[in-house]
Structure 1
């Protein structure tokens, strides 16, 4: 049944996927709107945004859009995260056809005080983590990398160019994979012994293993233990969702999808060896030595504390293969993240290789 489901999905994906997410080439575009006004009125622009224009550099096509604000965490920053609202009247026969609202990842959380180069690296790193998870499963959000030339209509800010990326909208992924989002409150009615009935346990196992590998404890799947929720002072809550959503396939099976990986081992916030359970628990005494020996020691220590250690060990071959494929396919972008990132990545892959042959 599972093989038939994936065969069906592969056929459906070709027919229903939005053109924007059909390949990985970088799209260069211009985005013009009143940047100064958006920053001043960001709290009021979540639902009804400002008029803007996207210009595709390849053919100079201009597409009227609405620029909205989003992301509670980024509202403490000068520049919040954005959402772009398209009208089908202007997107026909363009790369944005079949899209209505799309999340745009730009400067991230409070990057105003960083150099342009550092901002770009954090955006690229965040984008690349999504591409890494795409290597692991079809049940993942697609992304499209952008190089954006921003123009402020108010004239207060000078034009600037920066990387960004679009995240596949929920409606698109529902059509592409023939799944439907299930509200967490509704899902509570299906809980039995704290585990949702009919959930894809193999995919849950992969989620746990992937989140551990990237050292991201900031997630929770409804019906399962979560380090961020249960270690964070709520030991009896098993129906909370954190950076995940539960979807239901046509055959009734529940499918977890995950997102929001930026503060993790691959997120370019610090050396790769910094991240782990010690970082999650604010243990600042962690060594900053990213050699293979030290990184392996940190890995083993974290693994011993991880609730789903068996999932990590079981999925290690899948993770290692996906990580190597990801590195090869994205080598040019990964190189842009600098020598320290690339050295840390090489060492991390090495410890996974060592672990896989134990």
Structure 2
């Protein structure tokens, strides 16, 4: 081969490689959770039929349209079912799980994320979207706290309830949540289902970060042992990690239907209680320091998401978080509210 032919062949190879690489990068950018921009969706569903005909193991056929460019909609044959307990029974719009067949997802934004939880507002009231905005904010806070979290993305849904005679289309704010299997694959781990694992046996630092976070947002509606509003992931042979979800019953979100857990003695969901187990004090002090160092990041995140709740609500969120960080700054309050309130191995409170 002459030098000229070799140089030409090398040039063709390099150009081909660059083209393939650029296509790969373009495809990477189209992944569902790589963007902060809300997806535009359209759904027409009989809420009565969805509640009556689906359950934790039974899906019904449905269709969700995605706005791929302004005014252009592409239909996807999603199966869907209801999920959850409290919101399913108490809310007008039920929480859902939606799934798409692998072949149908190929080449779309849903490729690699075909199974999703869909969270919609609870009620039809005018301010219902703001509670979705605040719950989504809690997920964004959790991203600041730990790498072990579910990814989320906001959606704007043009929703038609087929039970409505007028079949009027309404626009709802919502978000989708990454599937268990997908998050486990990201960490080369697996989700432990139907196994009661004592929280004290879980990896110390991720668990402490989780427990501080739950107190920060005013959440008592969770249980690691019973995997309530929480998944447990095993990485390797013995590293067990908690991953929280469902943050509506919190002081941060504080929706009208919020109720205090029957397991605690609190008057309001806005009251805070540390429900974590005791670890060695140096480690708890280290996590305390971590949170204090991230305080401004949380306030910045409130501003980043301010399109999805009112200015008054943003101010209230900042005030609510400040109460938590004031507690962390005070040696006396930190000792009283966390070090002396954490639970011991037998489940009792340290005194």
Q: Same fold (TM over 0.5)?
A: yes
User: 1:267: Cα distance to partner?
Assistant: 0.9
State yes or no: 1:138 paired with 2:152. no
State yes or no: 1:204 paired with 2:207. yes
The count of residues paired between Structure 1 and Structure 2 equals 297
* Alignment partner, residue 150 of structure 1: 159
Task: Give RMSD over aligned pairs.
Answer: 3.5
Match of 2:106 among 77, 85, 92: 92
* Alignment partner, residue 55 of structure 1: 66
* Change beyond 3 A, Cα 1:76–1:348: closer
* Alignment partner, residue 234 of structure 1: none
Cα offsets for 1:169-199 (capped at 9, x unmatched): 00100111111112343x55xx6xx842xx3
User: 1:355: Cα distance to partner?
Assistant: 4.1
Cα offsets for 1:86-141 (capped at 9, x unmatched): 11222111110123321100123xx24xx23x210111111111111011111011
State yes or no: 1:65 paired with 2:74. no
Cα offsets for 1:48-83 (capped at 9, x unmatched): 213223232525222221222222223324432111
Give 3-state SS (helix, strand or coil) of 1:138's partner: coil
Q: What TM-score do the two structures reach when normalised by structure 1? A: 0.71
Separation in structure 1 between the aligned mates of residue 180 and residue 154 of structure 2, nearest angstrom: 18
* Alignment partner, residue 281 of structure 1: 265
* Change beyond 3 A, Cα 1:317–1:44: closer
Deviates more, 1:258-267 or 1:328-337: 328-337
Please show how residues 204-353 of structure 1 align to structure 2 within 5 Å.
204-222=207-225, 240-250=226-236, 252-269=238-255, 280-283=264-267, 302=273, 314-334=286-306, 336-353=308-325
User: 1:269: Cα distance to partner?
Assistant: 2.2
Kindly indicate whether structure 1 or structure 2 has the higher relative contact order, using CA contacts under 8 Å at least 6 residues apart.
1
Cα offsets for 1:195-233 (capped at 9, x unmatched): 42xx311111111111111111122223xxxxxxxxxxx
Give 3-state SS (helix, strand or coil) of 1:60's partner: strand
* Change beyond 3 A, Cα 1:101–1:47: farther
Deviates more, 1:169-178 or 1:51-60: 51-60
Match of 2:95 among 38, 61, 81: 81
Segments of structure 1 that go 5 or more residues without pairing to the other structure are 1-14, 223-239, 289-297
Separation in structure 1 between the aligned mates of residue 82 and residue 244 of structure 2, nearest angstrom: 22
* Alignment partner, residue 339 of structure 2: none
Give 3-state SS (helix, strand or coil) of 2:78's partner: strand
Q: What TM-score do the two structures reach when normalised by structure 2? A: 0.72
Q: Which has the larger radius of gyration?
A: 2
